[in-house]
Structure 1
Amino acid sequence: MEHITLLLAIVIVTALVFDFTNGFHDTANAMATTISTGALKPKTAVAMSAVLNLVGAFLSVEVAKTISSGIVTEEGITPEVIFAALVGAILWNLMTWLIGLPSSSSHALMGGLIGATIASVGVSGVNGGTVVTKVLIPAIAAPLVAGLSAYLASRLTYRIGRNADPKATSKGYRAGQITSAGLVSLAHGTNDAQKTMGIITLALVAGGVLVPGSNPPMWVIVSAGLAIAMGTYLGGWRIIRTMGKGLTDLQPQQGFAAQTSAASVILASSNLGFSLSTTHSCSGAVMGAGLGRKGGVVRWSTATRMFVAWGLTLPAAGLVAAGSEFVTKQGDWGVAAVAVFLVASCVAIWFISRRQVVDHTNVNDVDAGDDEPAGVVTTAMAAVTVPPTAAAIAAEELKTTIPAPAGSSAEPASPAAV
C-alpha cells in the first residue's frame, strides 16, 4: 500500500462509499419479506443481514475477477475513469433509494464503468461479449428464473399444507423465513461485496500497485466486507417498504419460497462468476411468490415503475459517469470539482429524505390501495376540520340558554332530541 497516491486513495474511499450505499440500498433483498410478515423485528433483521453479508464477502472472489478483468480492458483505464464510474453509480443508488425503488446497484456500477470507459478511451475499451454474457443475459434471466421458482415453490407449500393447522404452519414457515433470509444475506455478501473488491482491484492495477490479473488483496476483501455490512445495518427502509408491502402482500409460506428461490439463484451465479443483480433476483422472486398463492396479486403499478428504473440504470449511471470523466480529464481541479459535486449531491438527497422519514418504526405502515404510508393518510384526514352545521349551532345555543329543572340531574337535551 506504500505506492498508493492521493488520487488512488480518493478512488478507494469512493469505492467503499459505493459499497456502503450498496449495503443499505440492497438490505431489502434479504429482509423485506421477513420484516413484512413479522418473522423478525426490523432492527434484528438488518443486524443479522449485516453479519452474514460480512461473512459472505470472504467466501469467493469469482465475481471480483469478472469486474476487475472482464467488463473493460485494463489498457487505458485510469484511476480517474474508475472515480467517474463510482460517481455515476453512487448517485443512481441514492436517487432510487430516495424514491423507494429497488434497482440494481450492480448494474449502476457496470453502467458507470462502461460510460466512463467509453468517454475515456472509446467503445474499444469495453469487452462487449463479456457484458452480454455475464451482465445483460443474467439481468434478464435472473428475475424470470427466480420468479418461476418462487411461484412453483409457493404453490407447492400451500398444497402440502392445505390440511395442516394454519397457525402451526404459519409459525413453522416464519422460522423457515429466518433461515432463508440468512441464506440470501450470505449470498448477497458473496456477490455484491465482491463488486467493490473488483473495482478497487481494477483501480490498483490502473495505478500500478498490482499487476494485471491479480486477485483482491486481503485488506481489500476486509474493507469491502465491512463497508457493505455497515450499510446493511443502517437499513434501506424506503426500499424495504416497497419490497415488503408495495409489490404484493406475502404470507410466511410465500416469504419462505421467495427467499429460498432468490438465494439459490444468487449463490449459483456467484460460483459461475456472473455479476448478477441481487435486486432483480429478489424482486422477481417476490412477484412470483405473490402470484403463487390463490387470490394473490402483484401491484403492477409499483412493478412497472420498478421495471422502468431497471431499464434506466445502465444508461443513467453511464451518462453521469461519462460527464464526470469529461470533467476529471481536465486535471486536478476537475477531480476536485467532481468530488465536490458528489458530496453536495449526497448531502442534498439526504436533506430531501428527511422531509418524510422512513425507518424501522414505520417501515410496515403502508396502505395497500395506493402504496402510501397509512400514517400519512390518517394525519391528513385528522387535519381536516368539518364546519358545524346550522342545526348543530342552534342546538348548542339552546343547551346553554335553557336551564335544567331545579334538582334535576338530567343531562342537557341532545341535538337530536332538540
Structure 2
Amino acid sequence: MTTVKVKFRASSTESKEGVLYYRVIHNRMARQISTGSKLYDREWDDVAQDVTLHSGVESSRQEYLLSVRGKLEEDTAKLRSIVSRLERNGRTYTADKVVEIFRSNSECGSFISFARHIIEDLKRIGKVRTSETYASALQSFLRFRKRRDIFFDEMDSSLMVEYESELRRMGVCPNSTSFYMRNLRAIYNRAVEKELTPQNYPFRHVYTGIDKTVKRAVPLKVIRQLRDLELKANSVDGLARDLFLFSFYTRGMSFIDMAYLKKSDLRNGILTYRRQKTGQQLFIKWEKPMQDIVAKYDTSATPYLLPIIRDMKTDGRRQYLNASHVVNARLKKLGELLKLPIPLTSYVARHAWASIAKSKNIPVSIISEAMGHDSENTTRIYLASLDTSVVDKANLVILKSL
C-alpha cells in the first residue's frame, strides 16, 4: 500500500513562509519530494491538504496561490499514476523508485519536454543527425498540437491516427508521414525504457513503413540545359546550379558531403572523402568540369573546397543546413524555369547520375560502388572486388556525354 500526501512545514519565524513537500510512503518507508513552493501558515489547510484562498489578498498573490494549487493537483496526480502503474506491473518496488520516476518525469515534464531533453542529450554526445531528425518530427507534431504540451497518458492510438489524418489532409506524402511517426515512436520508446510511461503502443494503427520512392531523376538533356543556363556570376541561382552540377559530376555526392569537402581531400588528381551517412570512404578522379566549378569561387578564407561553409567563427553545421535550404529553394525555381515535371532539388543530381549511368549500360555493380550505397544486396557483394579505376572510367563516360 502506497500513500501520497502533500505536507506543509511552517517556518520557525512567524513572518516567513513555510515549505510544501510531497510525502510518499510505501511499506512504512517514507520519502519526501520538494514542491519548490512556499506558503504562509494561514495559506494552507492541512486537513483538506489544499491551498487556502482569502478575500482581500493582492491579485498577484492570489494568482500565485492558484498556480501552486494547480501544480499540487498536477503533481499528486502524476505520483498516483506512477504508483498505479507500478502496482499494475506486479513488480516489487520501493518509495525511492516512485521518487526516481517522478523526478525524471518532472525534469522532462511531458512527452514534448521529454523529447526536447532527449534531443539535447543527443547533441551533447555528438549524435547531431539523430537529434535533427527527432527535432524535425517534433516540430511537425507541435504544429499539429498548436504548440500545446501533452502528457504521456494522452499519447494514444486515437491521437496518432488523428495526427496522421491531419498530415494527409495537408498533402504530406506517406514516406514523410512515416518518417515523423517512426521518430516520434523512437522518442516514446525511450520514455518507456525509462519507465516514464507504460507501453500503450500509440503508433500501432498508423503507417510506419517506407513506400517505394517516386523517381526523381532527370535525363541528360536537362543536365545540359541547366549547365547552359545564362545566370549572373556570383548569384545565388548560379551557386545553386553549380553545386547541383558538382554533385552530378561527382557521381551524385550528397549536399552534406560536399559541404564538408576540404582542399586537403584533393591530392594528386584524386578526391577522397567519407560519406557522412555511412562512413564509407570513396575516391573520385578529379575531372575538368569539377575544377571549373571550384575555380569560380574564392574559398581562400576557409579550409573547405566549396563555398558552403564560409564563416569559420560560426557553427559549420548550421551554415550547411541554411545553405541546403537556400540552394534547394533556388533549384526549385530553376526547375520551374526549365518546366521540369518534378521539383528540382540537390538530391535529384544523385538520382540523375544513377539513372543516366544505367542508360549508358554501366553495370549496376559499378553504379552501386560509384555512389557508395550501403546495402547487403549491392555494395557488400562488390566493394571487395571492384577497382576504383573502373568507376572513374564510368564517370568520365557520363561527363564526356555532356
Q: TM-score scaled by structure 1?
A: 0.25
TM-score normalised to the size of structure 2?
0.26
